[in-house]
Amino acid sequence: MLKAICSKKDLSLCAYYDCICDIINSCELEHLKDITHHISTTRFQHCLNVSYYSYIVCKKFRLNARSAARAGLLHDLFYYDRKEYNSMREKGQFSHSRMHSVIALRNAEQLTDITPLERDIIEKHMFPMTIKLPKYRESYVITVIDKYCAVLEVCIPKICSILSAHQ
């Protein structure tokens, strides 16, 4: 069952899935299931979380929910360990926080056709680290949802372990 964090809904059975069905099972995204992200989740799960909640918010505000879902799924499409990257980078080279969106965009473009809106979302989801302002409202939605999901992914497992220890 395909689920987002804090959701009981099977995402493969709802309209959201229609937006991402052509890329969700790609080898490129499958590979993200093997990479730890935000301490206690996988990079795939993080991308799914951002994708689904961005879709919900954009749909609610009558924005382009389809592009938000697709770009959210692809926004962290990179395969290296960010800690290793930062420890090995040379002086003057951009940090992971600033560089990974460029790499994710390049990988996304190799996987599927990317619209200008999706390009802006992927490229600028780390604003203000990316310096350039996002051009679209959907880009701001993803930027905020990305941080929201990161907090959930770090905090929820800790809260659950604290609660289970007290039972």
- Residue 37: pLDDT band (50, 70, 90) is confident
The percent of residues in the chain predicted with pLDDT above 90, rounded, is 62
Q: Which CATH class is domain 11-87+94-165?
A: mainly alpha
Domain ranges for the chain, please list them. 11-87+94-165
Q: Is the pTM of this model over 0.85?
A: yes
Task: Please give the average per-residue pLDDT across 60-74, as a whole number.
Answer: 98
Copy the structure tokens of residue 81.
């360990």
Q: Say if residue 57's pLDDT is above 70.
A: yes
SS3 content of the chain, % helix, strand, coil (to 5): 65, 0, 35
- Residue 41: pLDDT band (50, 70, 90) is confident
- Residue 27: pLDDT band (50, 70, 90) is very high
**Contact assessment for residue 37 and residue 45, using Cβ atoms and an 8 Å cutoff:** yes
Q: Say if residue 97's pLDDT is above 90.
A: no
Cα–Cα distance for residue pair 21/30, rounded to 1 Å: 13
Number of alpha carbons in the 13 Å side-chain half-sphere of residue 144: 10
